[in-house]
């Protein structure tokens, strides 16, 4: 990037034609990566919450036993 900045000082068109699109593309992919990681964390939290919710319910009925057998 420093080389491009020096070129942009010498030739202003480099800034509009190369640096701006490059920065926009870089920012886009950084945002995509952040959203992907946030979604993965959210999915893990939802899975853990569902497991904890099932662990605290200790009352067993025949339908719950069948449901739990289906999960395994």
End-to-end CA distance of the chain: 53
Higher per-residue pLDDT: 63 or 32: 32
Phi-psi region of 61 (alpha: psi -120 to 50; beta: other; left: phi over 0): beta
Distance CA 67, CA 46 (A): 19
Domain boundaries in the chain?
2-71
pLDDT for position 58 = 62
- Give pTM, 2 decimals: 0.53
Tens digits of per-residue pLDDT, 37-71? 999 999 888 888 887 777 765 666 666 666 656 65
């Amino acid at each position: 990037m420093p080389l491009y900045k020096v070129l942009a000082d010498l030739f202003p068109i480099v800034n509009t034609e190369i640096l701006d699109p490059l920065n926009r593309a870089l920012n886009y992919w950084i945002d995509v990566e952040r959203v992907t990681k946030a979604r993965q964390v959210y999915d893990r939290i939802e899975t853990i919450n569902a497991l904890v919710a099932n662990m605290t319910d200790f009352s067993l009925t025949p339908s719950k036993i069948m449901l739990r057998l289906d999960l395994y």
